[in-house]
């Protein structure tokens, strides 16, 4: 039996169903079901009875849950002793290393500040990286935030939110009085700017419409793009999330219609039951922040 299988089993017991458990664990239902089958095959006895409202533990399942909780508690005690802290103060003086794609740092900065204020004894070490998955796999980061698809089954991935593009123009621009335009209309713009991180995505969408954009500035800095638009250098394609707080009478936001460039942001973390409690807490806090603040704001 692997600790991962025991963690899956305990979570199903807590959730009362495979569906709820997979959401808590950040794994797919086939993966969860397969691991429980392996566990049941090892003991050669069913651990759950399937009922209409979910699952119920068999007598064997109840025994395993009791012993499994004891094992997890012993692991927690060992972890706390190794880190030289009591179970009541296991967050004191710890560091959480986060590998975050540069494009999302500005958008997520309020969450990092909020977490730091709530847990002042936890140091957040935030690194900008385009390869957050490998940072986690190589244990150079506890958590990754990425827009790239996950390729390794040994890490978990939880979807956070979706980013979409909008067009930022200066007041007086021919499109400034438009609330929205079709994406295809971008081919009529003589000069446009966008972040270099989004270049391949934008080019792919333009190719699907049969045109190419003429870019005059490619930069990783949102402030440079906004400054360029404000001074009449052209229009800029910017994620809508970074425009939500923009208040400037000299600028106008034009939404894009139809097939709009977008990408999904995910949280990446090790598929391991030995994850530190502080890292688990960070994952929980970020999930709550996305649901309560970011998605509500949209």
Query: What pLDDT does 276 receive?
Result: 84
Q: pTM higher than 0.85 for the full model? A: no
- Return the pLDDT at 295: 59
Of residues 243, 233, 136, the one with CA closest to residue 190: 233
* CATH numbers and ranges of domains, the chain: 3-82 (1.10.10.10), 87-160+264-297 (3.40.190.10), 162-260 (3.40.190.290)
Q: For residue 86, is pLDDT > 50?
A: no
DSSP state string for the chain? --HHHHHHHHHHHHHSSHHHHHHHHT--HHHHHHHHHHHHHHHTS-SEEEETTEEEE-HHHHHHHHHHHHHHHHHHHHHHHHTT--GGGTTTT-EEEEEE-HHHHHHHHHHHHHHHHH-TTSEEEEEE-S-HHHHHHTTS-SEEEESSPP--TTEEEEEEEEEEEEEEEETTSTTTT-SEEEGGGGGG-S-EEEEGGGHHHHHHHHHHHT----EEEEES-HHHHHHHHHTTS-EEEEEGGGTTT---TTEEEEEEESS--EEEEEEEEES-TT--HHHHHHHHHHHHHIIIIIHHH-
Compute the average pLDDT of residues 112-117. 92
Token pair 């569906």: residue: 19
Residue with the larger pLDDT of the pair 240 and 283: 283
Asked if pLDDT for residue 87 goes beyond 50, the answer is: no
Average pLDDT of the segment spanning 234-254 = 83
Residue 207 and residue 261: Cα distance in Å, rounded?
A: 12
In this predicted structure, what is the pLDDT of residue 169? 92
Per-residue pLDDT for 96 more than 80? yes
């Amino acid at each position: 039996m692997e600790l991962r299988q025991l963690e899956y089993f305990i979570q199903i017991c807590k959730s009362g169903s495979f569906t709820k458990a997979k959401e808590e664990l950040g794994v797919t239902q086939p993966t969860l079901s397969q691991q429980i089958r392996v566990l049941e095959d090892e003991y050669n006895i069913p651990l759950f009875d399937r009922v209409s409202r979910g699952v119920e533990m068999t007598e064997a399942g109840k025994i395993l849950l009791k012993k499994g909780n004891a094992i997890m508690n012993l692991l927690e005690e060992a972890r706390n002793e190794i880190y030289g802290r009591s179970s009541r103060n296991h967050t004191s003086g710890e560091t959480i290393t986060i590998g975050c794609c540069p494009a999302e740092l500005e958008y997520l900065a309020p969450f990092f500040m909020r977490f730091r204020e709530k847990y002042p004894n936890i140091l957040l070490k935030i690194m900008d990286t385009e390869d957050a998955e490998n940072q986690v796999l190589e244990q150079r980061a506890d958590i990754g935030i990425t827009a790239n698809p996950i390729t390794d089954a040994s890490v978990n991935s939880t979807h956070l939110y979706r980013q979409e593009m909008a067009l930022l123009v200066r007041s007086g621009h021919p499109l400034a009085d438009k609330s929205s335009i079709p994406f295809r209309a971008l081919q009529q713009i003589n000069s446009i700017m966008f972040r270099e991180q989004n270049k391949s995505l934008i080019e792919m969408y333009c190719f699907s419409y049969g045109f190419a954009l003429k870019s005059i500035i490619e930069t990783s800095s949102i402030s440079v793009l906004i400054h360029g638009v404000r001074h009449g250098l052209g229009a800029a394609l910017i994620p809508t999330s970074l425009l939500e707080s923009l208040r400037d009478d000299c600028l106008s936001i034009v939404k894009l219609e139809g097939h709009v460039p977008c990408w999904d942001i995910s949280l990446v973390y090790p598929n391991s039951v030995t994850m530190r409690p502080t890292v688990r807490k960070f994952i929980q806090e970020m999930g709550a922040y996305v649901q309560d603040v970011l998605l509500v704001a949209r």
